[in-house]
Structure 1
Amino acid sequence: MAKSTIKLRTKEKGGKVQVKALITHPMETGLRKDKKTGDKIPAHYITEVKVEANGKTVLTADWSGSVSKNPFISFNYAGSKGDKVKLTWTDNMGKSDSIEKEVGKK
């Protein structure tokens, strides 16, 4: 199995779940040039990030090439220990990855 491109952390406190994720992705805009060849580097960036808790969508983010390399995302939602949090990303080249984690488990 390939190594996940997502590091996901969740923590519950006072009825709120904090979600933090680091995604390994080049996030190329398509505007930079290769220093050796002078050719433009093709655009390659995440277009959508979706987070679900127990099958219900709690966040959908539409991104573009303006987001930095290896993006970090952090947010809170009303939830509790034991929630199953799933984060999925999709990029402009049709690639995707996802990870699922139970709140309160390492």
Structure 2
Amino acid sequence: MSSIRVRAQLAGDTTTVRALMSHPMETGQRKNKAGEPIPAHYIKEVVAEVKGKNVLTAYWGPAISRNPYLSFQFTGAAAGDTLKISWVDNKGEADSTEVQVG
């Protein structure tokens, strides 16, 4: 199961994308109950592609909240096209998902 839930809705020639990503997004500045620092663990890069064309690249850092929500719009997609969203974090973990534009 993907850590990304996404919806892509087409209205006219504009596609609105809403994505929710499940991720702890730790800054590295908090401490656990024993007083030890919790290691940084956050999404570094989010990429969205349609028909092999990049429509969004977002570079994130530790200041983004846990389970981040991302919303953006772009033009050039048609109903039925496949939108792929993927992320990579600072520990090398990654995830991606695909949805149909509708």
Q: How far did residue 82 of structure 1 move?
A: 1.6
Q: Encode CA deviations 1:26-83: one digit per residue, 9 max, x unaligned.
A: 000000000x210000000000000001110000000000000000000111022122
- Give structure 1 stretches of 5+ with no counterpart: none
Aligned partners of 2:13, 2:80: CA distance in 1, in Å?
12
Equivalent pairs, count: 101
- Which residue of the partner structure matches residue 53 of structure 2? 56
- Pairing 1:73–2:70 present: yes
- Which residue of the partner structure matches residue 84 of structure 1? 82
- Give structure 2 stretches of 5+ with no counterpart: none
Q: TM-score, normalised by structure 2?
A: 0.96
- Which residue of the partner structure matches residue 10 of structure 2? 12
Across the aligned residues of Structure 1 and Structure 2, the Cα RMSD in angstroms comes to 0.6
Q: TM-score, normalised by structure 1?
A: 0.93
Aligned partners of 1:37, 1:50: CA distance in 2, in Å?
37
Runs of 4+ in 1 over 3 A off after TM superposition: none
